[in-house]
Structure 1
Amino acid sequence: MAVTVADPEPGAPHQPARTRRFPRARQLRLAAALVSGFAYYLSFSPRPLWWLAPLAFAGFALVLRGRSFRGAFGYGFAFGFVFFLPLLTWLLDFLGPDFGPWPWLGLSFALALYYGLAGGLITWVSRLPLAPLWGALIFIALETPRAWFPFGGFPWGRVAFSQPEGAFLPLASIGGAPLVGLAVVLSGFCLAALVGRLWDGREALTAALRTRPAVFAATGTLLPVVAGLALWPSIGTGAQDGELTVATVQGNAPDIGLALQGERDVLRRNTIAESERLLDAIHAGRVPKPDLLLWPESATTVTGPDPQVDQLVANFGVPALIGAIYELPDRHLQNSVIAWDPHTGPGQRYAKQQLVPFGEYVPARKVAELVTPFLDTETVDMVPGDGTNQAMAVAGTKVGTFVCYEAAFDYPARDAVRDGAELLVVPTNNAWYGESEMSLQQLAMSRLRAVEHGRSVVVSAVSGVSAIVAPDGTVTSSTGLFTADSLVGRVPLRTQTTLSDRLGAWTEYGLLALAIAGVAGGLVLRFRTRRTSAGTAGEAAG
C-alpha cells in the first residue's frame, strides 16, 4: 500500500535542514562563550584592559539569550573554564612538573562550575522586569560562596580584581569589591540587552529604542561608568594625620617553585643582605632614613631570641614589621608579622588568618595522602591566626596588616581599618610562582583595597613585585620580579573611613539577598506561566 506523505505547510522550514542548523548554532554559541571568557581573562593584570571585562560579559549574556537552564549551564561553564585556565597557569610554576597539570585543571574545573551555575540561574530571571540587573546580581552573588568553597575559599579572579584602574574603580569606596563587580557585569549585561533589543526590533528601530526595556538597558550600560567617573574627585589622597617614610626590603629568592619550602635560610640571608645595602645607602645619604622598615612574608623564622635581627633593627634605629614564620610553644608554626622595636625587640604579632590550601595547610589530609606522594606524616599544617593585632601601633601610628593571599578576601583589610589603621601593608612571598602573572594579579587586589579603604598600601614582596600604592590605587613606585631591591617612599596617613568600610559586609550580603529574591521571583513567574499555558491548552482541547 502506498503511503502518501503530505507536503509541509508553505513557508515551514525543511526538517533535515533545520536539524543541520541547530548543531551549527550551538557551535557558534560555544565559540562565542569561549571568546568572551578569554576576553575576560585579558582584562586582568598585567594588561590595563579593564574595559574588556564589560564587553566580555556582554558577549556572555548574548550567548545565554533564549537558552534553557541546561544549555546556559554548559555555556557558563565553558566561559568560566577558558577564563580560569590561563588566569591560574601560575599553579604550574608553583607545583612544578612532578604534580603535572591535574591540580591546575581540577581547580579551574571546580571554579568554572560556579560560572555554569550562574549561567543556568540567569535563565530563571530572564523574564523578570529589569532582567539584566537580576542576572548581574546572580553572577556577583555566586562570588560569595566561592570565598568559602572549595578548600576554605578561593576568590581569585573576582570581577572587581580586573579593575585596578579605569572608570569602575572609584565605586570600591562606596561598596567595595562586590559593588565594583556588580557595576562591571551590569554594564555588560545591559549592553547585551540593548543589542538584543535593537536586533529584535531592527525593522522598527525607532520604536524599539522607545520601549521601557531598551531605555533601562541603555541606562544600565552607561550609568555604572558615569557613576564611577563622577566619584573620582571624591577619592581622597591627602594626608590627614601626617606622613610616614616607609622602606620595604626585597631580598629575592631562587625561582624553584614548591622547593622553596626548604630554602628558608636563603630567604633570611638575602633579606638581611639587602637590608644592609639599604642601610649603607641611608648612611651615604642616597636615600632618606625611613620611619618604618618592612620585611616581606616569611623572610625569616623565629623560634626564640634573635640577636641578629635585634642588631639590624637597632642599626636602622626605627621600628620594623618583620614577616616571619613564628614557632609557637607547642612547636606549631604561624605565618606572622612581628612589630620589632629598635630598643626592646619583638612585640605585638599578627598571624595570618586565611591560609593557602596545599601551601600552608592541607585540606582533607587523609584523602590527599592517598593521591599524592608529596605528603608525609612529618608535614605539619600551619595554625591560622584569630585576627588579634590586625592593626598594630608602630612608628607613631597604627598600621594594618594582611598577608599575601588575604588580599583576595574582603575582611582582613576592612577589619584593620576599623581597628584604626592609617596605613595598610601587605607582606607577601610570591617567589613560589615563578615569572608568571600571579604577582601582578595580586598587586591589582592591593590597588583595589587602597581605594576601597582610602589608605596607602605598601606591598613588601620576597622576590617582587613590591610596590607603594597611593590611596587612589596609583602605583607610585615598584620593583621587578626576581631582583634584590628596596623601595623608600613617603606615604600619607589617613583617618577617614569610606562608606565601604562603614557598610562592611552588608553590601555583599545585601546583594546576595537580592539575588536570592530574584531567583525566587523567577521561579514563581515560570511556574505561573506553565500553569497558565497548561490551562489554556486544556480549554482548547475541551
Structure 2
Amino acid sequence: MSALPLLARLTPVRLLLAIAGGLLLWLSFPDHDLAVAAIGGVVLISVAMWDVRPRLGALLGLLAGFACFVPTLSWSGIYVGAVPWFALATFESLYVALMGAVLVWAQRPLIRRGHALAAALLVPVLWVLQELVRGTVPYGGFPWARIAFSQADSPLSRWAAIGGAPLITVSVALVAVPVVLLIVTRRLPKVALTLAVLVGLGSWAVPVPTSGDSSARVGLVQGNVPSPGLDFNAERRAVLDNHVTGTTELAAKHRDLDLVIWPENASDIDPLRNPDAAAQVARAVEAVDAPLIVGAILDEPAPAVSNASLLYRPGGDEPERYVKQHPVPFAEYVPHRDFYRLFSDKVDLVRVGFAKGDEPVAFRIEGDDGAFSAIPTICFEVAYDGLMREAVRNAEDEDRPSLLVVQTNNATFGYTAESTQQYAISRIRAIEHGRSVAHVSTVGVSGFINPDGTSTPTTELFTAAQPVDEVVLRSGLTVSDRMGPWVEWVCGFLLIGAGASRVGTRLAGRLGSRRPSTPQTEDVTTGA
C-alpha cells in the first residue's frame, strides 16, 4: 500500500492536485516567468497520478493539460474566437492524458513491488515522450508550451547545449522526483536526492559560450502595423511602407551595418512580381547600403503562395531565398478543410494555402570582420527541434561562423504573451546551438540573443523600433547538435524496458497460476 496520505488518495483531491499542477506549469511560462513553478507543477501532477489505474491517470492528465494549455495558449483565440482556442487547448491536453495513462500503467507494478524510486524516475521519461509526440503528430505537431521553453531564465536551460530542449524537460522533472517521493512514501531516497542535486548544480558546469570567432553589426527593423489584429492583411502596403521608413531611419543613424533584417510579412505584396513593391525594397537597400533580409509572401507556386525570406544585396540581381519548410496547419493551410469546417467556419479565413519549402538555407554575408552565414527561420519553425538542428548543421558545412535569424509576425496575437513565449524559445535555441539569434517581429518583441541565452533589451509591442547590436558570430557544433535526439531515444528505450518488465511479470504470474499443483505422495516407509 502506498504511504500517500489517505486524504490525498481520494479522487476529488487528486483532481484538484492535477488542476493545480497544470496551473503551476502555466505560471512558469512568459509573461509570468516563474520558472521554478514548473517543478511544482510536475510534483503535483505526479502525486495526483501516483498508484491509480490508467483510466483515472488519463483523466488526471487531461485536467492538468487543460489547466495549463487554456491560459497558456489564450493568444490563439484573441481575434478568431473561443472555439479555435479551446479546440487547440483540448487537443494538446489529450497528449497529457495519454501520458497519464501510460505513466500509471508502467508505474503501478513497480509501486506495488516496493520500487518507488524506479516508478518515480518514469516521470521525466514520459514527459519527454509526451512532448515528442505532441510536437510531431498530426500534421507535424505543435511543440509549444514544452516545459523546456519555460526555463530560459533558469540555470537548467544550460542543459540545452548537451541534449537540447528534451534534456531541460528531463532536468526539471528529475528535480521534482525527490519531492514526489517524499510526499508519496514519506521517505527521501538518497539516490533521488543526489540526482536532483547533480542536475541542479551540474547545470552551472555546462559550458555555454559568450565569445565567438568574429562579430557583425546587425540592425533589425520592427516596422509595426497600422492596427493589431487580422486587418494587417488588408493594409499590406502600409506595412511595407512602415518597414521602408524604419530602414531609412536606421540608415540615418547607422552607416556601418553588415546586415539588416525585416520580419515575416514585412512585404505581403510580392516584390518579385509587383514593380511598386520591388521599388520600395530597392529604396530600402539603397538607403542602408547593406544586405537586407526581407520577410515576403510570394505568389508561387500557383495556386499556392510561399512564406519566404529574401536576401537582397546592394547592386545585386535576383534575391536569394529561403521558403518556410513547416507551414502552420490551420493558420497557413487547412488540412481536410471540409471536415474541420463542421466544427468552425474560421477555417475559411485561410483562403490560400502555403507551399512547403524543400531545405534549409544559409545566406552568405560579407561582413567587415569576414564572411558569415545568416540562417533564416520563419515564425513557429523556431519551436521544432529537428528543423533547427538541420539548419545549423547545414550552415556548418559552409565552414564559416553563423547567426540564427528568427523572423516572425505577431500582429495577429495582439497584446498577449505569444510574443514573449516565442522569444523565450529563441533564447533556448541560442544555448542549444551555441549561436547568437537575431529575433525580429513586425510588432515586437524583437531583440538580440547571445549564445549563452542572455538577451539585449527587447522592443515594446506595437511600436516602431530599429535596434542595432554587435552580434557574436560562432562556428562549430554543440554536443546537442552532434548527438541529435539522443534524450528521446534513451527515454524511448527506458519506456520499452518498463513495459516489457510489466508484460513479463504478468505473463509469469498467469503461467504460475495455471501450473497444476504437485500431488502429495504416499510415504511408503510408514504406509501413511
Q: Which residue of 1 aligns with 2:212?
A: 239
Contact 2:229 2:412 in 1 (8 A): yes
Q: Which residue of 2 aligns with 1:413?
A: 388
Contact 2:312 2:319 in 1 (8 A): yes
Contact 1:124 1:526 in 2 (8 A): no
Whether 1:399 aligns to 2:374 is: yes
2:477 & 2:237 partners in 1: Cα distance?
A: 40
Structure 1 vs Structure 2 CA RMSD: 2.4
Whether 1:277 aligns to 2:249 is: yes
Contact 2:241 2:280 in 1 (8 A): no
Q: Which residue of 2 aligns with 1:202?
A: none
User: Normalising by structure 1, what TM-score?
Assistant: 0.85
Contact 1:404 1:429 in 2 (8 A): yes
Q: Which residue of 2 aligns with 1:80?
A: 65
Deviation at 1:258, TM superposition (A): 2.9
Query: 1:176-325 counterparts in 2 under 5 A?
Result: 176-197=164-185, 199=186, 208=187, 214-231=189-206, 234-240=207-213, 242-282=214-254, 289-300=256-267, 301-302=269-270, 303-304=272-273, 306-325=278-297
Contact 1:254 1:431 in 2 (8 A): no
Query: 1:80-479 counterparts in 2 under 5 A?
Result: 80-95=65-80, 100-126=81-107, 127-128=109-110, 129=115, 130-197=118-185, 199=186, 208=187, 214-231=189-206, 234-240=207-213, 242-282=214-254, 289-300=256-267, 301-302=269-270, 303-304=272-273, 306-328=278-300, 330=302, 332-374=304-346, 379-389=351-361, 391-395=362-366, 396-420=371-395, 422-479=402-459
Whether 1:27 aligns to 2:2 is: no
Post-superposition Cα deviations, 1:7-26, rounded to whole Å, max 9, x if no partner, equal xxxxxxxxxxxxxx999922
Deviation at 1:289, TM superposition (A): 2.7
Deviation at 1:520, TM superposition (A): 3.0
Deviation at 1:230, TM superposition (A): 2.1
Deviation at 1:506, TM superposition (A): 3.6
Q: Percent identity?
A: 34
One-letter amino acid matched to 1:53: A
Q: CA distance change for structure 1 residues 511 and 307 in 2, over 3 Å: closer, same or farther?
A: same
> 42-51 or 324-333, which moves further after superposition?
324-333
Deviation at 1:316, TM superposition (A): 1.1
1:425 & 1:358 partners in 2: Cα distance?
A: 24
2:456 match: secondary structure: strand
1:124 & 1:176 partners in 2: Cα distance?
A: 28
Q: CA distance change for structure 1 residues 443 and 322 in 2, over 3 Å: closer, same or farther?
A: same
Post-superposition Cα deviations, 1:207-251, rounded to whole Å, max 9, x if no partner, equal x55xxxx122222332221221222xx1111021x1000000001
2:363 & 2:166 partners in 1: Cα distance?
A: 27
One-letter amino acid matched to 1:102: V
Q: CA distance change for structure 1 residues 529 and 480 in 2, over 3 Å: closer, same or farther?
A: farther
Q: CA distance change for structure 1 residues 436 and 482 in 2, over 3 Å: closer, same or farther?
A: same
Post-superposition Cα deviations, 1:301-333, rounded to whole Å, max 9, x if no partner, equal 324251221232022111111111122253531
Q: CA distance change for structure 1 residues 538 and 399 in 2, over 3 Å: closer, same or farther?
A: farther
Deviation at 1:48, TM superposition (A): 2.9
Deviation at 1:498, TM superposition (A): 0.3
Whether 1:71 aligns to 2:52 is: no
1:522 match: secondary structure: helix
1:269 & 1:364 partners in 2: Cα distance?
A: 36
Q: CA distance change for structure 1 residues 535 and 398 in 2, over 3 Å: closer, same or farther?
A: same
User: Normalising by structure 2, what TM-score?
Assistant: 0.88
Q: Which residue of 2 aligns with 1:44?
A: 29
Contact 2:28 2:150 in 1 (8 A): yes
Deviation at 1:416, TM superposition (A): 2.0
1:522 & 1:487 partners in 2: Cα distance?
A: 57
Post-superposition Cα deviations, 1:46-87, rounded to whole Å, max 9, x if no partner, equal 233111111211111111112111111111111111000000
> 348-357 or 323-332, which moves further after superposition?
323-332
One-letter amino acid matched to 2:182: L
Number of corresponding residues: 492
Deviation at 1:525, TM superposition (A): 3.2
Q: Which runs of 5+ in 2 are unaligned?
A: 1-5, 397-401, 519-528
Contact 1:447 1:473 in 2 (8 A): yes
2:191 & 2:91 partners in 1: Cα distance?
A: 34
